[in-house]
Amino acid sequence: MALYCHTLRHDPQNPQWPDRDRFILSKGHAAPAVYAVMAECGYLPVEELITLRKLGSCLEGHLVADSPPGVEMTSGSLGMGLSFSLGQALAARLDGKDYRVYCLLGDGDLNEGQTWEAAMASAHHQVDNLIAIIDYNRIQNDGFSDYSRYEDKSRPQRIAGWVSEEGHTVNIMALQPLEEKWRAFGWQVLETDGHDLSALIETLEKAKGTKGRPTVIIAHTVKGKGVSFMENNPAFHGKAPTPEQAEKALAELA
Amino acid sequence: MTTKAAATREALGPTLVRLRREGLDIVVVDADLGSSTTAREFGKVFPERFFAVGVAEQNMVNVAAGLAATGKTVFISTFAVFAPGRCFDQIRLGIAQPRQNVKLVGSHAGIITGEDGASAHAIDDLSLMLSLPGFRVIVPADVVEAEQAIEVAARTSGPFYVRCVRPKIPVIYDESHEFQLGKAHLTRPGKDVTVMAIGVMVWKALEAAELLAQQGIDCRVLNMASLKPLDVEAVLAAARETGAIVTAEDHLVHGGLASLVAQTLALHQPAPMAFIGMQDQYAVSGRWDQLLEHYGLTAEKIAEAARSVLARKKG
Ligand SMILES: Cc1ncc(C[n+]2csc(CCOP(=O)(O)OP(=O)(O)O)c2C)c(N)n1
Ligand SMILES: [Mg+2]
Identify from B32, B50, B297 which residue to disrupt to test chain A contact, counting A C-beta atoms within 10 A and taking the largest count.
B32
Residues of B with catalytic roles:
57
Identify from A77, A107, A155, A159 which residue to disrupt to test chain B contact, counting B C-beta atoms within 10 A and taking the largest count.
A77
CA separation for the pair B138, B126 (Å, rounded): 9
What is the per-residue pLDDT for B315?
61
CA separation for the pair B164, B188 (Å, rounded): 23
The Cα of B59 is separated from the nearest Cα of chain A by a number of Å equal to: 8
* Residue A62 contacts B where some CB pair is shorter than 8 Å: yes
Residue B33's nearest CA partner among A111, A152, A151 is: A111
Identify the nearest ligand to the CA of A81 by its number.
1
CA separation for the pair A207, B271 (Å, rounded): 66
Rounded (10°) angle between helices B232-242 and B257-268: 70
Q: Report the pLDDT averaged over residues A118-144.
A: 97
Q: Report the pLDDT averaged over residues A101-118.
A: 98
Residues with CB under 5 Å of ion ligand 2 are A 106-107, 137, 139
- Long-range contacts for B185-188 (Cβ within 8 Å, ≥24 apart)? B185/B222, B185/B223, B185/B225, B186/B220, B186/B221, B186/B222, B186/B234, B187/B141, B187/B221, B187/B222, B187/B223, B188/B219, B188/B220, B188/B221
Which chain A residue's Cα is nearest to B81? A77
Q: Where are the domains of chain B?
A: 5-170, 185-314
pLDDT in tens, B62-94: 999 999 999 999 999 999 999 999 999 999 999
A150 pLDDT more than 60:
no
Which residue ranges form the domains of chain A, and what is each CATH number? 2-138+175-221 (3.40.50.970)
The CATH code of domain B5-170 reads 3.40.50.970
Cβ of residue B55 lying under 6 Å from some atom of ligand 1: yes
User: Quick check: A38 and A5 in contact, CB under 8 A?
Assistant: no
User: Quick check: B24 and B155 in contact, CB under 8 A?
Assistant: yes
* Residue B289 contacts A where some CB pair is shorter than 8 Å: no
Q: Do B58 and A77 touch (CB under 8 A)?
A: no
Lowest-confidence range among A149-153, B57-61, B226-230?
Answer: A149-153
| Strand, helix or coil for residue B26 | strand
Nearest to B54 among A57, A77, A111 (CB): A111
Tell me, what amino acid is at A151?
Answer: E
Cβ of residue A141 lying under 6 Å from some atom of ligand 1: yes
E-assigned strand segments in chain B: 5-6, 26-30, 50-52, 73-79, 102-107, 136-138, 160-163, 169-170, 185-188, 193-197, 219-223, 226-228, 245-252, 273-278
Q: Is the whole model's pTM more than 0.95, yes or no?
A: yes
- Topology alike, domains B5-170 and B185-314: yes
Per-residue DSSP letters for A23-63?
Answer: EEESSGGGHHHHHHHHHHHTSS-GGGGGGTT-TT-S--SS-
CB atoms inside a 10 Å sphere around CB B233 = 11
Q: Report the pLDDT averaged over residues A44-55.
A: 97
CA separation for the pair A76, A51 (Å, rounded): 19
What is the per-residue pLDDT for A199?
95
Pocket test for ligand 1, best of A136, A141, A142, A146 (most atoms within 8 A of CB): A141
User: Quick check: A31 and A59 in contact, CB under 8 A?
Assistant: yes
Specify the ligand 1 atom closest to the Cα of A62: 25
| Per CATH, domain B185-314 is 3.40.50.920 | yes
What is the per-residue pLDDT for A167?
85
Strand order of the sheet with strand A215-220?
A: A22-25, A101-106, A130-136, A215-220, A188-193
The Cα of B285 is separated from the nearest Cα of chain A by a number of Å equal to: 5
B2 pLDDT more than 60:
no
A42 pLDDT more than 90:
yes
Which chain A residue's Cα is nearest to B52? A161
Degrees (nearest 5) of the Cα angle A178, A180, A184? 120
Tell me, what amino acid is at A215?
Answer: T
Q: Report the pLDDT averaged over residues A153-157.
A: 63
Cβ of residue A138 lying under 6 Å from some atom of ligand 1: no
Chain B residues with beta carbon closer than 8 angstroms to that of A167: 35
